[in-house]
A and B are shown apart, each in its own frame.
Chain A
Amino acid sequence: MLILHCPNCGVDADETELAPGGEAHLTREGPGSSDEEFEQYLFLRENPRGVHFERWRHAMGCGKWFHAARCTTTMEVFGTYPAQTSEPPQEIRDRISDRRPGWRWRELS
């Protein structure tokens, strides 16, 4: 069972209060993009064993979206951060590097 800290309202929310929103930091390809880019946006997802970045919504709480960085094997949560960003903040990356040296996720490391 996950407990994620909601950065919007500041409560530690149980997984059952949250709605999962899939993978984080996708680039939304629009008109004019190539078929490969559009396929990437629409269908291709990471399925890592280890560090992962996700979107969550505090559905049965404040109702706001946020991002979470966690480990899919140990369920360790590295941190949560606001939704209004296109990449994880340095602080979160540093924390992951502390715990999982040499981690990679898409083009991030």
Chain B
Amino acid sequence: MSEPVSALRGESYDGHIRVEEAGLRGMITVRGDLSSEAVARAVGEVSGVEVPGPNAANASDARGLCWMSPDELLLLVPHAEAGETLRRLSDALAGEHALVVDVSDARATFRLTGAPVREVLAKLTPADVSPGVFELGAFRRTRLAQVPAAIWMRDAQTAEVVCFRSVARYMFDLLATAARPGGEVGYF
């Protein structure tokens, strides 16, 4: 099989924060009744973490669960394991009213690193990203400029942006422009 490549092949930009494409991620969309014990158990077993609450992610580096909507989760796994995980999850959810789809190659992920990371996000999104509201581990779907995206606060100086692969170039240019030296606002 051909070699899988990420949308921008790990391109990066160093401004007053560092913007880099985070490379390939295994991503599986899970749709189902999240309040159902059977669904929660199956998803928990396969992912190894508990189902997160609304607008939060329960994930370490490349593994875990992100809350997408009242009936949707995003399961993160290393890219090479996506196919196998999908099979295991489909088996675990057999008989349940649920849907699992491998969306790994339909997404692009960007990692933002640096102290003013909230500022760069705040330039592009209407979401409130201030420290008291957008806490560590928070995961929120919103828009960045003209495209939908999910933003995730990994730690005090790291955020991640997940968007559609088709808009990866737009997203990278957008983030890089917002991170250009001289563009510091100093609000947060």
Contacts and interface: CB of A to CB of B under 8 A. Distances in A.
B69 A9 contact: yes
Contact of A16 (B54, B70, B126, B141): B126
Contacts of B55: 9-11
A8 B148 CA distance: 18
B154 interface: no
Interface in A27-69: 59-64
B22 interface: no
Main SS of the interface on chain B? strand
Contacts of B70: 8-9, 62, 64
A41 to B, nearest CB: 29
Contacts, number: 40
A91 interface: no
A11 B127 contact: yes
A98 interface: no
Nearest to B53: A10
Nearest to A8: B70
A8, A13, A14, A61, most chain B CB atoms within 10 A: A61
A6 to B, nearest CB: 10
A17 B69 contact: no
Contacts of B126: 13-14, 16-17
A63 B72 CA distance: 10
B127 A62 contact: no
B142 interface: yes
A60 B142 contact: yes
Interface pairs A-B: 8 shortest CB-CB: A14-B126, A62-B69, A60-B143, A60-B148, A61-B141, A8-B70, A10-B54, A16-B126
Interface of B: 54-55, 68-70, 72, 126-128, 140-143, 148
6 contacts: A9-B54, A9-B141, A60-B143, A61-B69, A61-B140, A63-B69
Interface of A: 8-14, 16-17, 59-64
